[in-house]
Amino acid sequence: MATAGKNLSAYDKNTIPNAKDFRFGIVVSEWNDDITENLFQGAFDVLLENGVLKENIVRWNVPGSFELIYGCKKMQESFEMLDAIIAVGNVIQGETKHFDFVCEGVTQGIKDLNIQSDIPVIFCVLTDNVKQQSIDRSGGKHGNKGAEAGIAAIKMAQLRKDAKFYKN
Ligand SMILES: Nc1c(NC[C@H](O)[C@H](O)[C@H](O)CO)[nH]c(=O)[nH]c1=O
Ligand SMILES: CC(=O)[C@@H](O)COP(=O)(O)O
């Protein structure tokens, strides 16, 4: 189902673990910050709605979405007590192929971080053809992908906790 068929902000609170003991990092790209700030707020609000303490959320900024890779990697290394990290960015097609390389690079880089580290990184990067698509997905008519990412972060933090329990 495409995003157009669902509300990115909608979730059943009864299916979300209580996240009061979880700690989260959020790395935010400054490119298109009118969009990325809305994405950040969507994620931040959802985390608080589900019991996360403000003091258990750490935020770093990076210049652009491509730098999300390095920023998230350093956050994994610096804050070993984090339960999950959310990478927030917005890439919009310009005149050239740069869009393709940035999107592919970020996608592969964040995928690699999930393989190489025990701290999951959630992909909250909008990759849009035009600005209106970004607006629609960061608190507009299709909801907020940041909220979707916040829920994913809680679910992956719980999966990671469960996996540690079964391993011991
Ligand atoms: N065009 C967009 C960019 N481009 C910048 C890159 O992400 C990167 O910061 C630069 O190439 C230096 O390494 N970034 C976005 O996040 N969104 C864009 O639309
Ligand atoms: C995704 C980008 O880097 C892109 O917006 C830059 O614009 P352009 O392709 O016109 O240089």
pLDDT tens, the chain, 168 aa long: 678 778 888 889 899 998 999 999 999 999 999 999 999 999 999 999 999 999 999 999 999 999 999 999 999 999 989 999 999 999 999 999 999 999 999 999 999 999 999 999 999 999 999 999 999 999 999 999 999 999 999 999 999 999 988 887
CB neighbour class for 75 (10 Å; exposed up to 12, middle 13-18, buried from 19): buried
Nearest ligand 1 atom to the CA of 32 is: 17
Give dist(CA 61, CA 126) in Å, integer.
16
Which residue of 35, 98, 130 sits with most ligand 2 atoms within 8 Å of its CB, as the best mutation to test the pocket? 98
Whole-structure pTM value: 0.96
Is 123 marked as binding a ligand? yes
Count of CB atoms situated within 10 Å of the CB of 33: 14
SS3 107: helix
142 catalytic per annotation: no
Give dist(CA 130, CA 122) in Å, integer.
23
What domains, with CATH codes, occur in the chain?
20-167 (3.40.50.960)
Nearest ligand 2 atom to the CA of 95 is: 10
Interface confidence: ipTM more than 0.85: yes
Q: Is the CB of 66 inside a 6 Å radius of any atom of ligand 1? A: yes
